[in-house]
Structures are given as C-alpha cells and as structure tokens.
Structure 1
Amino acid sequence: MKIRNSSDWRDALPFELPVAAAEAVPGEPTRCAGCGIDSEPWPREALWVVKHRHPTNPAGFVRYYCADHKPVAKLAPPVSSPERARRSAPSAPRRLAAPTVPERAVVLCPDCFVQVPATGVCGMCGQQVA
C-alpha cells in the first residue's frame, strides 16, 4: 500500500521540534497525547504540537502535548568544522581489496586474425593455437 500525501498545515512543521499549537493551527480545545483519552481537553493556547517521524510515512504524524508532557526538542549537535566532523565520525570498516587476477594475453589465430578463446582452438577455422 502506498501512502499518498496531501498538503496541509502539518507540512510547515519541523520534525521533533515543539511549536505552540495556537500558532500552528488555531482551533477547538484538544486533549494532550501524554495525559490520555480520559483527560479534559486543553485550550490550544496551553498546548504544544510536535511532528514525529514515522517509519512508513515520510510526512510523519502530529501529536498535541501539554506543558507537563512536552517532549524535549531533538536537534543534531552543532559541528564546528568539517575536519572535526571527520575526526569524530565513526570510520567505516575497511574493505579488503579483491584479489586481482592477471588478464590473459590476447592470442590471435595466425590464419583468421580473430581472438582465440581460452580453449586455444580458433572458432573460425578450428586450428589449435598455443
């Protein structure tokens, strides 16, 4: 099944970064995802909206949180210089070079002037070439 996306207000939200719900999408009171479904709805001014990543939907999904349950923003650590990033990045395991097989010298049939296969028998005239 392929998930199709439509464009709406959620596209403007950054991933894993809390945004005030009243600024992102004003509307009716909503429940906090952390408080549970039995809790009372919160006014939008008291809620935060967070767009989370989803394993199969590249658009992600959105949840509302109160101040008590608001997740911490997940930001990548700043990198000061490219050289420092190269030093701190884990190195990939080194791949061993595949053993090289020397190529067979090209052998031509003295009568037909065509390349002879590894069997040593000319495919055109049938002469045995050493």
Structure 2
Amino acid sequence: MQIRNSSDWRDALPFELAVPAAEAVPGEPTRCAGCGPASEPWPREGLWVVKHKHPNNPAGFVRYYCADHKPKAKLAPPVAAAKAPRARAERAPRAERVAAPKVPERVAALCPDCFVEVPPSGVCGMCGTRVG
C-alpha cells in the first residue's frame, strides 16, 4: 500500500521541532496529546505543534502539546573526530585498476520479413525464417 499525500499546512513544519500552534495553524481550542482525551481543550496560544516521523508515511504526523508535555527537540548526532581525513602520508597506495577486456558487441541481425531482431540461434521468433 502506498500513501498519497496532499499539500497542506503540515508540509511547512520541520520534523521533531516544536512550533507555537497559534503561528502554525490558528483555530479552535485543542487538547494536548500528553494530557489525554479527558482533559480540557487548550487555546492555540498555549499549545505547541510537533511533526513526528512515521515509519509508513513520509509526511509524518502532527501532535499538539501543552508546555508541560512539549517534547525536547531531537538534534542530529555530532560528527565524530575519527571521520576526519588522514594525511596523505598515512594513506596506503591505491591498487591500479585493470580495465576489463573489451568484447565486441554482436551485430544485430534483423528478419527481412518482420524487421525484428533475431536471436543468436538465427531463427526469427515471429515468422520462423532462418536468417544467416
């Protein structure tokens, strides 16, 4: 199953970063996802919008959070110093690549009646004519 997306206000939100709900999408009071469905709705000025990643939907999903339940921003892991390039003197010499031998392509034989390419057997697959 492939999920199709439609374009709306959620496309402009960054993943895993809290944005004030009043700025993202003004509207009616909404419940916080952390407080639960039995809680009272919050005004949009008191809520945060977070777009989370979803394993099956590349557009993700959006949740509203109050200040008490707002998740921390997830940052990318820092680049390790071990990945820094080594000096040229430390690098091992590269082995020379040997070019693959060039094999000439087989000349394509065409059937004079059907004008289709004939396989290496020399017999046309459409009409059965032997092409030499």
Q: Into which bin does the TM-score normalised by the smaller protein fall?
A: 0.5 to 0.7
Displacement of 1:19: 0.3
Tell me the residue number matched to 1:7: 7
Take 2:77 and 2:18, find their aligned partners in 1: how far apart are those partners?
Answer: 17
Take 1:76 and 1:48, find their aligned partners in 2: how far apart are those partners?
Answer: 21
RMSD: 1.5
Match of 2:11, SS?
A: helix
Displacement of 1:11: 0.3
Structure 1 residue runs of 5 or longer lacking an equivalent are 88-130
Tell me the residue number matched to 2:70: 70
Take 1:8 and 1:17, find their aligned partners in 2: how far apart are those partners?
Answer: 18
Tell me the residue number matched to 1:86: 83
User: Residue 28 of structure 1 aligns to which amino acid in structure 2?
Assistant: E
Displacement of 1:77: 3.9
Number of residues of Structure 1 aligned to a counterpart in Structure 2 = 84
User: Residue 86 of structure 1 aligns to which amino acid in structure 2?
Assistant: K
TM-score (norm 2): 0.60
Tell me the residue number matched to 1:119: none
Take 2:55 and 2:9, find their aligned partners in 1: how far apart are those partners?
Answer: 21
Take 2:23 and 2:82, find their aligned partners in 1: how far apart are those partners?
Answer: 36
Tell me the residue number matched to 1:121: none
Tell me the residue number matched to 1:18: 18
Bigger mean CA offset, 49-58 vs 70-79: 70-79
TM-score (norm 1): 0.61
Match of 2:65, SS?
A: strand
Match of 1:49, SS?
A: strand
1:56–1:85 CA distance, 2 compared to 1 (3 A): farther
User: Residue 51 of structure 1 aligns to which amino acid in structure 2?
Assistant: K
Match of 1:51, SS?
A: strand
User: Residue 69 of structure 2 aligns to which amino acid in structure 1?
Assistant: H
Q: Deviations over 1:51-108 (max 9, x none)?
A: 00000000000000000000000011454xxx82615xxxxxxxxxxxxxxxxxxxxx
Q: Deviations over 1:15-34 (max 9, x none)?
A: 00000000000000000000
Q: Percent identity?
A: 85
Tell me the residue number matched to 1:60: 60
